[in-house]
Amino acid sequence: MDRFNFLSPEEIKAPEGCPTGHLELDQFLISKGLPKGGLSALCGDKGLGATSLWLQMAQRITAKKSHVAWIENKTEHINPWALKKFEIPLSQFFWISPPKDLRQKLWVLSELCSLDFFESIACPLEGEYLKDRQLLQLRKLARLHQVAVVFFTTHAWSHHELEVSLHFQKDHIRILRARHRPTPHLLERSFFHAHTLSEFAPERKALRG
């Protein structure tokens, strides 16, 4: 029987990542942040820190004079005051009006990736499920244009086309999927925090970039 030679995580060429600012999470992920050129999912109910994590990552991206985009959904708009709290310049943060359906949302996401302008694009899903071929197409686009595409869902979601999947829960964050890392893996909530200022402003018209 042939013998297998297993590589250590240090021997694997890591993809470039966008640091989230949470040290334990960034150290655990091989890309040292949510990977550029890949798809990630931040899962969990509102108020548990998923959006805060992405905004914290967006702050680091915009501090380098790069740009991020947020595709809004039909029921909630991200609060402009949250950007002020996270010190994210409005000139580098682009709001995208809510697409009318999933088909249009995927088209918008594909177009944004193809612009070679954004380092990360956030896309909340409203109970929508993407098919394997749709995820494969988006992953290829993300890799080609080196964009960190981040989905938000309220349900736990792990798929083989996702590079990273985090499930935010009351007492901990469960890492459901992370390339070349042992999963599931738990992080204590003490390493994360939900900001007292809500990132969302229901029934409030958001600014547009």
Q: What are the residue boundaries of the structural domains of the chain, listed by start?
A: 24-191
Average of per-residue pLDDT across 132-157:
96
CA-CA distance, 113 to 105, in Å (whole number)?
12
Dist. CA 50–CA 58, nearest whole Å? 13
Tell me the per-residue pLDDT of 45-69, one tens digit each, with 9 for 90 and over: 988 999 999 999 999 999 999 999 9
H-helix segments, 102-156: 102-114, 132-145
Write out the E strands in 34-169.
34-35, 38-43, 67-71, 93-96, 118-124, 148-153, 164-168
DSSP secondary structure string, 170-206? SSEEEEEEETTS-SSEEEEGGG----SS-SB-TT-PP
Pairing between β-strand 172-178 and β-strand 185-188 as defined by DSSP bridges = antiparallel
pLDDT tens digits for range 155-175: 999 999 999 999 999 889 999
Cβ distance 174 to 49 under 8 Å?
Answer: no
Confidence at residue 26, expressed as pLDDT on a 0 to 100 scale: 95
pLDDT in tens, 74-100: 776 788 888 999 999 999 999 999 999
- Is the pLDDT score of 196 beyond 50? no
Which pLDDT band holds residue 7 (cuts at 50, 70, 90)?
Answer: low
Rounded (10°) angle between helices 102-114 and 132-145: 20
Q: Quick one: what percent of the chain has pLDDT higher than 70?
A: 83
pLDDT at site 3:
61
| Cα gap 133→34, rounded to integer Å | 22
CATH fold of the domain at 24-191:
Rossmann fold (3.40.50)
Q: Quote the CA–CA distance of 207 and 90 in Å, as a whole number.
A: 9
